Amino acid sequence: MDQFSATDAALAGFRAAREKPGAVAVWAAIMAVLSFAVAIVAVSTFGDKLTALTAAVEGDPDPKTTLAAMSGLWPLFLGSMVYVLITNSVLLAAVNRVILRPGDGAGAYLRLGADELRQAAVQVLLYLVLFGAYFVGVVIVALLGTIGGAIGGAGLGVLLGLLAGLALLAGLVLLSVRLSFVSTLAFDTRRIDLRASWDMTKGRFWQLFGTYLIATVLAVVVYLLLLVMIYAVTTIGSMAMGGGLAAAGDTLRGEATTLQELFSVSGVIRALLSGLMSVLVSLIVFAPAPTIYAQLKGRDVSDAFV
């Protein structure tokens, strides 16, 4: 099959959430517990530094002050990157499993095995490829800007730099779309193959780009709606517990930086809803690629949503 339904693919995440509510609920519960546990460790270990960083960002816009406040947080940032890599790998494999192996639903489609390890390797590889392309592109943009400035003055240098910057952005988007099947191929064939993704997406860039763009916009809308819900629920919870408007305002500041804030009613509610938000957004963004892949392979993706 040479064609796919862009609409079906863009809405695949919503269909998965509708048809597999039990699995999605399990994912959200696990993510909420994990996020809450990670937050406890982070606040217990780096609470003072997080408070100092928050004060620096809110009170002094000087980059040097902010960087100084961040200097002791590199273990937290590194740990957060590893956490995101692991959770994304598990969710990516689970979404691929829902669509490509719908009958393999034991454990709410969640595993910790070779499929998840390959997803982690794919994420690292794609990051290195995109970062490498970005680095080379930035060097070229700088060179063109310098050459243009030397030949035709500052105006030409700025113009060439701007055009080169737009070309770099377009190139990164192109590369991302053409390599968008790497994750699904790694899951389905158990091989990490950049060339196979490049070949499968040949001649389909604009249709794929439109599908991914629609899915991204929908994910942003869902994120904002759930964010409003989180703020509303935590605000009502804080006021119901007698905190008044001042406490309600504190719930809108952002992430908790003390254990007291974390274990408050609003903090717990926020953690639970944040787990649901991360799962739904991930599902909407991750589901289109395996859905399109399955359609191009001639598989009946409707089997995944029954």
Q: Could you read off the pLDDT of 135-147 as tens digits, one per residue?
A: 998 888 888 777 7
Mean pLDDT, the chain, as a whole number?
Answer: 81
φ, ψ at 86 (rounded to 5°): -65, -50
> What's the pLDDT band for 272 if we cut at 50, 70, 90?
confident
Nearest to 221 by CA among 281, 283, 272: 281
pLDDT of residue 10 exceeding 60: yes
CA angle, residues 13, 15, 17, in degrees to nearest 5 = 70
pLDDT in tens, 14-71: 998 888 899 999 998 898 888 888 878 877 777 677 666 666 666 656 666 667 666 6
Report percent pLDDT > 90 for the chain.
38
Q: Which helix (H) or strand (E) holds 300?
A: none
Residue identified by tokens 């787990």 is: 275
In the chain, where are the structural domains located?
Answer: 6-305
pLDDT in tens, 172-226: 999 999 999 999 999 999 999 999 999 999 999 999 999 999 999 999 998 888 8
Does residue 262 contact residue 256 with C-beta atoms inside 8 Å? yes
Cβ-defined contacts of 101-109 (< 8 Å, 24+): 102/303, 102/304, 102/305, 102/306, 105/20, 105/23, 108/22, 108/23, 108/26, 108/27, 109/20, 109/23
Q: Which residues contact residue 205 at a Cβ distance below 8 angstroms, ignoring those fewer than 6 apart?
A: 174, 177, 178
Tell me how far CA of residue 263 lies from CA of 38, 103, 266, 269, in angstroms.
13, 39, 8, 10
Per-residue tokens: 228:
């409003």
The Cα 249–Cα 104 span in angstroms is 46
